Amino acid sequence: MIVELVSTGTELLLGQITNTNAPFLAARLNELGFSVLYQTTVGDNRERMKRVLQTALERADIVITSGGLGPTQGDITKEVTAAVLSRPMCFHADCAERIKRYFADRRLCMADNNLRQAMMPAGAKIVENNCGTAPGVIVEDNTAGKIIINLPGPPHELAAMFEASIIPYLKEHYGLQGAIVSRVLRTYGLGESALEEKIKDFILSQSNPTLALLVRNGVINIRITASAVNETAALQLITGLEDQIRPLISEYIFGIDDDTLEQAVGRLLLAKDLKIALAESCTGGLVTSRLTDVPGSSRYVTGSVVCYSNEIKVAQVGVPAAVLAAEGAVSQKTAASMAQGIKARYSPDIGLGITGIAGPGGATAGKPVGLVYIAIDGPAGTAGYQHYFNGSRTDVKHRTALAALNHLRRYLLTL
Amino acid sequence: MIVELVSTGTELLLGQITNTNAPFLAARLNELGFSVLYQTTVGDNRERMKRVLQTALERADIVITSGGLGPTQGDITKEVTAAVLSRPMCFHADCAERIKRYFADRRLCMADNNLRQAMMPAGAKIVENNCGTAPGVIVEDNTAGKIIINLPGPPHELAAMFEASIIPYLKEHYGLQGAIVSRVLRTYGLGESALEEKIKDFILSQSNPTLALLVRNGVINIRITASAVNETAALQLITGLEDQIRPLISEYIFGIDDDTLEQAVGRLLLAKDLKIALAESCTGGLVTSRLTDVPGSSRYVTGSVVCYSNEIKVAQVGVPAAVLAAEGAVSQKTAASMAQGIKARYSPDIGLGITGIAGPGGATAGKPVGLVYIAIDGPAGTAGYQHYFNGSRTDVKHRTALAALNHLRRYLLTL
C-alpha cells in the first residue's frame, strides 16, 4: 500500500516551524509495512490544497493529512477532503456534544466557532481526540478503494490519535496479519563507518530482520526490525540477530530503545549501591544536570561543585594550589585532584573531575580549544582520560558530557 | 514568483531524519519576497522523482531540490533534472579538477566514483560547494522561463551554498531591488495570547513591516519584517514599529535576534561588574550549565553547588539544619538560605538558590510536583519567587531554569 503524507499550514510554507509530523508518521507507517512514497506540504488555500489532494489520490492508496482541523476560517482540510471525494459536509451531533463537554470539563468558555469542528464529510468515520478538541476523520472512497485520513496538526494530538485509533483502523481495514517489531541498540564510542565495518556482513545480508544505523546527537542507534506472524516470533528473530551482533560491539552498547547514557550510569550506580559527586569545570554543571534528568537520581547523586575559578577549585574542591601552579588548571593532574577532592569533601563512593577548554577563548600554547581531561576516583583507583573535541563551545560541552558519562559507565562495569 | 521545494532521499521517506532544509529555504525565500507554495519529498527513484519534478514545473516558476548530488548510484537528482528539461549529461572538466583538488588538499584518497559528481546537465551553471565535494547546479529553461536549482542535502552545505551563491543569483536573475530585513524581539514571561492582546492593534494593521509571533522553547519571538529600497530604509521601518511596540511590553523583552536569557544575564553582570554563584537543587546544575554556555562567562560565574541532599545543603552551602527541619527542603526559606549560604561561602556579589520538586516522585501533601522556589540574594537584599510548573521532569527543570534566569535579569535591572 502506497501512502502520501500531506502536511497543511502556512507556518510550514513560511518556514516558521519544522515538520516533525511527517517523519513521525513515515517511521510508524514503514514499521507497519506501508510504503510512504510522497510527502507534500501545502498552505491553507482551497484551490491549491484541492489539487494537491487530487494528485495524491492518483499516486497513493492512502492519503494522510495533518493540520487544518481547528475552529477558524483558515481550517479547511475537512472541507477540501469532502470536495475532492464529492461528499457534502454534515453537522455531526455527537461531535458537537463531545466538544461542548471538553470545554465544560475544563470550566472553559466555548466560542461558537468551535462548533465548526463538528461539521464532517458525509459518511466519514469520526476519530476521537483525547488531547484536544478537533476530532480526526477517515473517509473511505469505496469505488476507487482509496482512503483519506485527516489528523490534527499539533504533534502530540496527532501522535496520540495515530497510535490509539489510526493504527488499529489500518490493521483491521487491510487485514494486516502479523507484527512488525523494532529494537534499537544504543551505542557510543565508535564512529559510524567503523561501526558499520564491524557489522557489515549483517547489514549486507539483511532481509528480515533489517538493520539500519542512525546517528543522533553523538549516539549511534542500530535499529533491528523484524516482521513475523506475531510479536513473539518477531522478537525471536530480533534476539537471534542481536545475539550475533552484540559480541562484535558489546563494549559500545550502553542500552536499548530510548535508553540514555545517564540512565545506564544510574542503573549501574543503583545496582552496585554506589553514590557519586562531581567537580565540573568546563562542562559548567552539564554532566550533573544530565545525571539528574533521570527520575530517582537523588538516590545516587550526592552533589556537585561547578568550579570555574582556581580559587573555588582550591577552596571548595580541595585541589592543591601546587598542582594548579605546576600543571595548570587544564591538566590530567588537576582533573585527578578534582575527582579525589570532591570525593573527600562530599563523601560519595566515586568522584568525577572534568577540566578543559570549551572555547572559543582560553587556548594556550600546547593546550588548544577542545582539550579536555576527565578523571574518575573510586573503588578501582583513579582513572584519567584525555580528549580533543571539535566544534563550538556548546558542542565541546555536549561531547565532553557524553564522554564523561561513558567513561563512568565503563569504570562502573569493572567494579 | 512561485517556488516549489523538492526534498529527495529515502531517509526522509522512512522518517529517519527530520527535514530542516525545507524550513530554512522557505524562511529565506519568503524574506526575499518569493512565495513558497509547495514542498514535496520523494525518494531516490528515477520515475517517481521525474514525475514529481514535472508536476513542480507545472505549478511553480522555480524548483529547488535538495539532496542526491553525491557520488553513489543512488544520487540521481542531476540526471533526473536533465531528463525533465531534455538535456544530455556532460562531463565538466573544471568540476572534476575542483573535486580532485578538494581531496588532494585534505590529503585524502579519492574513490573514482567521486568523478560522477562532475557529470552535469548540458548548459547548467555550476555552483561551487565550499563545504563539500558536490557542486550545486542551476538549469534555466529559457523557453518556459522556469528554473531548476539542485542543492546538496547536508544542511550546512545547503545553507552555505544558498547564502553565498543562490541568493545573489536569484536577486540578479529577477532584478530584485531593495532589501527585506527582519528583527526578532525575544520575550519571556507573558503567554502567547496575552502578548498578542497587548500588541493586537499592530498585528491587525500590519502590512509593512509585518509582525509575527512565534513560540520557541518557552520563549516568544516577535518577528518584525520590513521591505524597502535598501537595508537602511528597511531598518528605519523596523525601528519605527519597534519604538511603538516596546513600551507596551518592555519588561518582557530580554533581547533581539538570537539572544538568549543567559546572554542577557551575562551582559548585565558584566556591565555592573558583578559575580554570581548558585546553589541548585531540583535543576541539578542546569542553570549554571546554561549560564556557562556563554563564551567569557568565567568572568562572572564564580561557581556552583548542586545540592540534592540535605546533608550537602547544610555542610557545603550552609543552609541551617533548623530551617530544613522546620520548613522542609522545598520551601521559600530554604531557597533564601541557599542563596545567602552560597553567597557567604563562594563570595560572589549575588547568590541564587533553587529548590523544588521536579518529579515524577517526591510530592507531599501541599507540595505537588512542579512546585519550585527561587531566591536571589544580592545588593538589593533577598528576593523570593514561587512557581508551579507543569510537564515532565525535564520540562520542570527547563521551565525552572528559564524562570530563574529571568528573575535574575530583572533583579539585576533594579541595581
Q: Which band of pLDDT confidence, cut at 50, 70 and 90, is reported for residue A351?
A: very high
Q: Does one domain contain both A200 and A282?
A: no
CB burial class (10 A; 0-12, 13-18, 19+) of residue A310? Answer: middle
Write the CATH number for A15. Answer: 3.40.980.10
Q: Do B289 and A291 touch (CB under 8 A)?
A: no
Give residue A25's identity as a one-letter amino acid code: L
Closest alpha carbon to A283 in B246, B160, B289, B190 = B289
Find which of B289, B302, B357, B394 to mutate to test the A interface (most A CBs within 10 Å of its CB).
B289
Query: Could you say which of A124, A142, A173 is where a domain stops?
Result: A173
Instruction: Give the count of domains, chain B.
Output: 3
Pair A149, A137: CB distance under 8 Å: yes
Partner residue facing A393 (CB), from B7, B15, B295: B295
d(CA A56, CA A66): 14
Handedness of CA A15, A16, A21, A27 (dihedral sign): positive
Q: Does one domain contain both B237 and B329?
A: no
A396 chain-B contacts, CB cut-off 8 A = none
Q: Does one domain contain both A108 and A211?
A: no
B278 chain-A contacts, CB cut-off 8 A = 306
Residues counted in chain B: 415
- Predicted confidence (pLDDT) at residue B23 exceeds the cutoff of 80: yes
Q: Does one domain contain both B86 and B205?
A: no
Give the model's pLDDT for residue A101: 86
d(CA B388, CA A378): 39
Q: Cell 451531533 sits at which residue?
A: A93
Q: Do B36 and A28 touch (CB under 8 A)?
A: no
A359 chain-B contacts, CB cut-off 8 A = 295
Give the model's pLDDT for residue A83: 96
The phi, psi pair for A316, rounded to 5°, reads -105, -15
Q: Do B309 and A316 touch (CB under 8 A)?
A: no
Contacts of B109 (CB under 8 A, 6+ apart): B103
pLDDT tens for residues A197-254? Answer: 898 888 877 788 988 777 777 898 898 988 888 889 999 999 999 999 999 999 999 9
Write the CATH number for A220. Answer: 3.30.70.2860
Q: Cell 539572544 sits at which residue?
A: B259
A45 chain-B contacts, CB cut-off 8 A = 37
Q: For residue B311, what are the domain limits? A: 261-413
Q: Do A316 and B346 touch (CB under 8 A)?
A: yes
Query: Could you say which of B141, B173, B205 is where a domain stops?
Result: B173
d(CA B148, CA B139): 5
- Predicted confidence (pLDDT) at residue B268 exceeds the cutoff of 80: yes
User: What are the distances in angstroms from CA B155 to CA A158, A269, B25?
Assistant: 27, 39, 10
d(CA A181, CA B15): 16
B305 chain-A contacts, CB cut-off 8 A = 303-306, 316
Question: To the nearest whole angstrom, how far is the Cα of A258 from the nearest Cα of chain B?
Answer: 15
**Cβ–Cβ pairs < 8 A, chains A and B:** 213
Return mean pLDDT, chain B. 92
Interhelix angle B77-84/B46-59, nearest 10 degrees: 50
Mean pLDDT of A145-151: 96
- Predicted confidence (pLDDT) at residue B206 exceeds the cutoff of 80: no
Q: Does one domain contain both B292 and B382?
A: yes
Q: Does one domain contain both A37 and A133?
A: yes
Query: Could you say which of B225, B256, B287 is where a domain stops?
Result: B256
Contacts of B118 (CB under 8 A, 6+ apart): B91, B92, B93, B95, B96, B99
pLDDT tens for residues A394-411? Answer: 999 999 999 999 999 999
Measured between CA atoms, the residue of chain B closest to residue A284 is B289
Give the model's pLDDT for residue A104: 83
Q: Does one domain contain both B280 and B383?
A: yes
Question: To the nearest whole angstrom, how far is the Cα of A207 from the nearest Cα of chain B?
Answer: 16
Cell digits for B243? 519604538
Give the model's pLDDT for residue A116: 82
d(CA B184, CA B335): 34
Write the CATH number for B302. Answer: 3.90.950.20
- Predicted confidence (pLDDT) at residue B334 exceeds the cutoff of 80: yes
Q: Does one domain contain both A355 and A247?
A: no
Question: To the nearest whole angstrom, how far is the Cα of B222 from the nearest Cα of chain A?
Answer: 12
| 3-state secondary structure (DSSP) of residue A129 | coil
Partner residue facing B303 (CB), from A287, A306, A394: A306
Give the model's pLDDT for residue B78: 96
A28 chain-B contacts, CB cut-off 8 A = 15
| 3-state secondary structure (DSSP) of residue A104 | helix
pLDDT tens for residues B83-102? Answer: 999 999 999 998 889 888 88
Question: To the nearest whole angstrom, how far is the Cα of A239 from the nearest Cα of chain B?
Answer: 22
pLDDT tens for residues A270-321? Answer: 999 999 999 999 999 999 999 999 999 999 999 999 998 999 999 999 999 9
Write a three-state SS string for chain B: CEEEEEEECHHHHCCCCCCCHHHHHHHHHHHCCCEEEEEEEECCCHHHHHHHHHHHHHHCCEEEEECCCCCCCCCCHHHHHHHHCCCCEEECHHHHHHHHHHHHHCCCCCCHHHHHHHEEECCCEEECCCCCCCCEEEEEECCCCEEEEEECCCHHHHHHHHHHHHHHHHHHHCCCCCEEEEEEEEECCCCHHHHHHHCHHHHHCCCCCEEEEEEECCEEEEEEEEEECCHHHHHHHHHHHHHHHHHHHHHHEEEECCCCHHHHHHHHHHHCCCCEEEEECCCCCHHHHHHCCCCCHHHCEEEEEECCCHHHHHHHHCCCHHHHHHHCCCCHHHHHHHHHHHHHHHCCCEEEEEEECCCCCCCECCECCCEEEEEEEECCEEEEEEEECCCCHHHHHHHHHHHHHHHHHHHHHCC
Q: Does one domain contain both B299 and B352?
A: yes
Mean pLDDT of B353-366: 93
Partner residue facing B394 (CB), from A278, A293, A345: A293
Partner residue facing A346 (CB), from B293, B296, B312: B312
Q: Which band of pLDDT confidence, cut at 50, 70 and 90, is reported for residue A108?
A: confident
Find which of B16, B210, B213, B393 to mutate to test the A interface (most A CBs within 10 Å of its CB).
B16
Mean pLDDT of B313-341: 97
Measured between CA atoms, the residue of chain B closest to residue A347 is B312
Give residue B202's identity as a one-letter amino acid code: F
pLDDT tens for residues A8-51? Answer: 988 899 888 889 999 999 988 988 889 999 999 999 899 999 99
Mean pLDDT of B246-266: 96
Partner residue facing A302 (CB), from B37, B43, B312: B312
Q: Does one domain contain both A107 and A25?
A: yes
Pair B408, B352: CB distance under 8 Å: yes
d(CA A222, CA B138): 37
Q: State the Rg of chain B over Cα.
A: 28
Cα B199 off chain centre by: 24
Partner residue facing A13 (CB), from B26, B214, B297: B26
Question: To the nearest whole angstrom, how far is the Cα of B92 from the nearest Cα of chain A?
Answer: 30
Return mean pLDDT, chain A. 92
Q: Do B13 and A42 touch (CB under 8 A)?
A: no
Q: Does one domain contain both B201 and B99?
A: no
Pair A66, A20: CB distance under 8 Å: no
Question: To the nearest whole angstrom, how far is the Cα of B93 from the nearest Cα of chain A?
Answer: 31
B17 chain-A contacts, CB cut-off 8 A = 23
Give the model's pLDDT for residue A178: 77
Q: Which band of pLDDT confidence, cut at 50, 70 and 90, is reported for residue A82?
A: very high
Q: Does one domain contain both A298 and A282?
A: yes
Give the model's pLDDT for residue B398: 95
Interface predicted TM-score (ipTM) of this complex, two decimals = 0.80
d(CA A397, CA A401): 6
Q: Do B296 and A22 touch (CB under 8 A)?
A: no
pLDDT tens for residues B32-70? Answer: 889 999 999 999 899 999 999 999 999 999 999 999 998
